[in-house]
Chains A and B, each alone.
Chain A
Amino acid sequence: MQPLTVLEALGCALPAANVDTDQLIPARFMKEPRSVGYGQFLLYDVRHNEQGTPDPEFILHRPGADDAEVLVSRRNFGAGSSREAAVYALVDYGFRCVIAPSFGDIFASNAVNNGLLPAVVEEDDAERLLAALGDHPANIQVDLVEQRIRVAEVDVQFTVSSVWRTKLLNGWDDIDMTRQHAETIACFADDYARKFSWAAPQPPETNIISKG
Chain B
Amino acid sequence: MSTPTTLFDKVWRAHEIHRSESGQSLLWIDRHFVHEGSFHAFNKLGERQLPVARPDLTFGIADHYVPTLSRDLESVADPKVRSMIEQLSDNTQRHGVTLFGLDDPRQGIVHVMGPEQGLTQPGLVMVCGDSHTATHGAFGSIAFGIGASEVAHVLATQTLWQTKPKVMRITVEGKLAPGTTAKDIALTWIARLGADGARGYAIEYAGEAIRSLSMEARLTLCNLSIEGGGRCGMIAPDQTTLDYLRDKPWSPKGEAFEQACAYWSTLHSDPEARFDLEVTLHADEIAPTVTWGVSPEEALPIDQAVPEPEQISDPAKARQARESLAYMGLTAGQKLTDIVIDRVFIGSCTNARIEDLRAAASVLAGHKSRVPGMVSPGSTLVKIQAEAEGLDRIFIEAGLEWRHSGCSMCVGMNGDLVASGERCASTTNRNFKGRQGPGARTHLMSPAMVAAAAIRGQLTDIRTLSSQADTTGAH
Contact = CB atoms under 8 A, between A and B. Distances in A.
B161 interface: yes
Interface string A200-212: 1111100011111
A202 B229 contact: no
Contacts of A188: 17-18, 28
B84 interface: yes
A45 to B, nearest CB: 5
Given A82-B129, A198-B260, A178 B413 contact: no
B257 interface: yes
B163 A106 contact: no
A50 B420 contact: yes
B76 to A, nearest CB: 11
Contact of B163 (A161, A177, A196, A212): A161
Interface string A26-59: 1110111010000000000110001000000000
Interface stretch (B103-111, B282-290, B388-396): B103-111
B28 A189 contact: yes
Given A163-B163, A197-B256, A178 B56 contact: no
B18 A181 contact: yes
A118 B146 CA distance: 16
B157 interface: yes
Contact of B229 (A76, A81, A175): A76
A81 B132 CA distance: 8
A79 B196 contact: yes
A175 B22 contact: no
A166 B22 CA distance: 9
A196 B129 contact: no
Contact of B146 (A79, A109, A211): A109
- Contact count band on B: 35 or more
Contacts of A209: 104-106
B63 interface: no
B229 A79 contact: yes
A104 B229 contact: yes
B34 interface: no
B463 interface: no
Given A31-B84, A45-B434, A198-B257, A106 B146 contact: yes
Interface in B81-102: 81, 83-84, 89, 92-93, 98-99, 101
B89 to A, nearest CB: 6
A181 B17 contact: yes
A42 to B, nearest CB: 14
Interface stretch (B119-127, B269-277, B338-346, B348-356): B119-127
Nearest to B294: A18
A74 B320 CA distance: 11
A8 interface: no
Given A175-B48, A179-B157, A82 B320 contact: no
B150 interface: yes
A135 to B, nearest CB: 16
B104 to A, nearest CB: 5
B433 A23 contact: yes
B157 A22 contact: no
B145 A84 contact: no
A154 interface: no
A96 interface: no
B136 interface: no
B413 A30 contact: yes
B156 interface: yes
B195 A76 contact: yes
Interface string A80-105: 11111101000000000000001011
A198 B57 CA distance: 13
Given A199-B30, A208-B98, A80 B150 contact: no
Interface of B: 14, 17-18, 20, 22-24, 26, 28, 30-31, 37, 40, 43, 48, 50, 56-57, 65, 80-81, 83-84, 89, 92-93, 98-99, 101, 103-106, 119, 121, 123-124, 129-131, 144-150, 152-153, 156-159, 161, 163, 194-196, 199-200, 226-227, 229, 231, 249-253, 256-257, 259-260, 263, 294-295, 316, 320, 323, 411-413, 420, 430, 432-435, 438-439
9 contacts: A76-B194, A81-B130, A113-B147, A163-B163, A188-B17, A197-B256, A198-B256, A198-B263, A201-B250
